[in-house]
Amino acid sequence: MNVIQSDVLVIGCGIAGAAAALRLAQDRQRQVTLITRADAPEESNTRYAQGGIVTLGAEDSAELLIQDVLAAGAGLSLPAAVRILAAEGPPLVQEVLIEQAAVPFDRAEGGDLAYGREGAHSRPRVIHVGDATGRAIIQGMLNLLRQQPNVRIVTQATAVDLITFPHHARDPLTVYEPITCHGAYVYEQGQRTVSRYLAGATLLATGGLGRIYRHTTNPRGARGDGLAMAYRAGARVINAEYVQFHPTALALPDGEGFLISEAVRGEGGRLLTPDGHPFMADYAPRWRDLAPRDVVARAIHHEMVEHGYPHVLLDIHSTMSAENIQERFPTIYTRCMELGVDITRQPIPVVPAAHYFCGGVWADERGRTTVEKLYAAGEVACAGVHGANRLASTSLLEGLVWGDRAAQDIAARGALTITAAADIPPWEEEGVLEEADPALIWRDMRTIQHTMWHYVGLVRSARRLTRALQDLNHLGKEIDVFYRTTRLTDPLIGLRHSVQAALIVARAAQHNRQSRGCHYRDDRKSTALM
């Protein structure tokens, strides 16, 4: 069985992992290994971010940005973390994204950056590359990373479990030491074997968990892998009940989950009922269509439930010219056109969908978790920035800042000790009896997704959450047996991570009886339709 040793192991190739690897690469003595379960490192949640990344706009200040993040976070954002974001984020956008990675952000006529507006922002400050900002950012960062001689990128490599002492130690005396991470067991999809990736420091940057829900804007890999591994390793997880639903995912057959960026409303798009009523003024007279996401998502949900609508409509053609729509939103325009909706002439059918995990593995200001030598950054982590509801387009910025901070902390540790392979047992395959049946994995995944959607969704109640936990606990036991007796595949590993992640979210939601931000409980109406 393979053993791969590096100073730093980064699990996940989105903006947080890439930012950390870029900073670490500056020290040429340090070997960095970046792994992803995807076929290509470009494939991560970052790639699908449309709207943009927050910086400071023309008549803006760090103080205003801080106030907006805190207001959206509904009283649960950690002020010190938000201050770090506002102070360090904009200079890092300039240094890493604009100067080093040469991301071609859109410019206004005079050559200044073009600042877009999004929900609950008091100033236009979101910079973008059309409506494919994440794709341009990750492309630029990966181009740079590929030039670094001390960074190795490994694809089709799925992390199965973190290697931690005392759990995996041969030496029984490690039980008296703090829980410490030494890398990860990683399933190599091509060879169908499990390798030991050993490292002096490990950074989790695996992204979110939207795929544990039936309807989501997230790509296939967002199934809670990092959260589940860290939880099993004993890391502290916080705020897991706060799953953000994006108000506007496309509601067309074959286009399900495709994001219709909040920037569309930022450019004047209005939400309408199917019979043409602009309903957001009824729910949020001050902000209307640009209210915080939790408010807009619940308003749409309420309209759908009250009136039995299958979706609502988003109209951009009444306020923007066809030419401007095609230039500003080329990806959305093309995708909708392929599916038969010309958004320069017709409104877009939209519904809410699971989008972003505001909770996660607790990470301090340096990205450190409660497990020694284990760091977390980006969506898998919770540093306290987003509180109970994330402000639009702050996630890429947070990944950039905390990826960079984690790397700086690792660099400051000096020489890193990599535990010897002889001290860590190879992966055990004893008890494996059969090949994985894809039909069973698919069915179990669907059960998780339906359970989370109906019982742990936008509107929650004690009855629904109790039911969710009964079903998920039962399923979790079945999946555990299945996992222990079946030859590994990437979907099987994902299924095990997903049921773990679902249980973490459902337990946190049941435990917290207070509605706040995107955790909304309506225990009086527990029989309402979802």
> What are the residues binding ligand SIN (CB under 6 A)?
49-51, 259, 261-263, 356, 392-393, 395
DSSP state of 170: S
- Residue 77 has which token pair? 């954002």
The separation between CA 163 and the C-alpha centre of its own chain, rounded to angstroms, equals 23
In this complex, which beta carbon is closest to ligand SIN, that of residue 258 or of residue 453? 258
**CA torsion sign, 479 to 482 to 488 to 492?**
negative
Smallest gap, in angstroms, from Cβ of residue 137 to ligand SIN?
12
The identity of residue 316, as a single letter, is I
Q: How far is CA 359 from CA 205, 374, 390, in A?
A: 14, 17, 10
Smallest gap, in angstroms, from Cβ of residue 393 to ligand SIN?
4
Assign residue 431 a region (left: φ > 0; alpha: ψ between -120 and 50; beta: otherwise): left
**Mapping DSSP to helix (H, G, I), strand (E, B) and coil, where does residue 304 land?**
helix
Question: What is the distance between the alpha carbons of residues 365 and 343, in angstroms, rounded to a whole number?
Answer: 43
In this complex, which beta carbon is closest to ligand SIN, that of residue 116 or of residue 494? 116
In this complex, which beta carbon is closest to ligand SIN, that of residue 35 or of residue 314? 314
- Strand order across the 270-272 sheet: 243-250, 348-357, 312-315, 270-272
Estimate the share of the chain in helix, then strand, then coil, as percent rounded to the nearest 5.
40, 20, 40
| E runs forming strands in 167-211 | 180-188, 193-204
- Residue 241 has which token pair? 């009940």
Smallest gap, in angstroms, from Cβ of residue 263 to ligand SIN?
6
Nearby residues of 334 by Cβ (< 8 Å), 6 or more positions away: none
Smallest gap, in angstroms, from Cβ of residue 119 to ligand SIN?
8
Single out the catalytic residue among 47, 117, 223, 293. Answer: 293
In this complex, which beta carbon is closest to ligand SIN, that of residue 134 or of residue 200? 134
Strand 374-376 versus strand 193-204 pairing type: parallel
**Mapping DSSP to helix (H, G, I), strand (E, B) and coil, where does residue 412 land?**
helix
Inter-residue contact 196 to 424 (CB < 8 Å): yes
Smallest gap, in angstroms, from Cβ of residue 247 to ligand SIN?
9
In this complex, which beta carbon is closest to ligand SIN, that of residue 76 or of residue 488? 76
Is 446 marked active-site?
Answer: no
The count of residues in the chain is 530
In this complex, which beta carbon is closest to ligand SIN, that of residue 121 or of residue 516? 121
Smallest gap, in angstroms, from Cβ of residue 458 to ligand SIN?
16
Report the catalytic residues: 293
